Amino acid sequence: MVSGNQTTTPGFILLGFSNLTNRQGLLFVVFLIIYMVILLGNGIIVFVTVLDSALHTPMYIFLRNLSFVEICYTSVTLPKMLANCLAEDGSISFTGCAAQMYFSLLLGGTECFLLAAMAYDRYVAICNPLCYTLTMTRDVCTKMVAGSWLVNIPVHFGQAYFVFSLPFCGSHEINHFFCDIPPLLELSCVDTYWNKITVFMAALLFLITPFFLILISYIKITSMILKMPSVQSKQKAFSTCSSHLTVVTLFYGSAMTAYLKSKAGDSVDTDKLLSLFYTIVTPMFNPFIYSLRNKEVKFALRKILGGK
pLDDT, greater one: 203 or 9: 203
Q: What is the CATH number of domain 2-305?
A: 1.20.1070.10
Residue 120 pLDDT > 50, yes or no?
yes
Give the model's pLDDT for residue 40: 93
Among the listed residues 162, 168, 170, the one whose alpha carbon sits nearest the alpha carbon of residue 194: 162
Rg of the chain (C-alpha set): 21
In which order are the strands placed within the sheet that holds 91-93?
91-93, 11-14, 173-174
Q: Which residues are CB-contacts of 164 (< 8 A; sequence separation ≥ 6)? A: 94, 97, 98, 101
Give the model's pLDDT for residue 293: 62
Beta-carbon-side half-sphere exposure of residue 264 (alpha carbons within 13 Å)? 1
Residue 264 pLDDT > 50, yes or no?
no
Confidence band for 7, pLDDT divided at 50, 70 and 90: very low
For the entire predicted model, the pTM comes to 0.88
Distance from C-alpha of 308 to C-alpha of 294, rounded to nearest angstrom: 17
Digit-coded pLDDT (tens) for 126-184? 998 888 999 999 999 999 999 999 999 999 999 999 999 888 887 788 888 899 888 89
Q: What is the mean pLDDT of residues 192-204?
A: 87
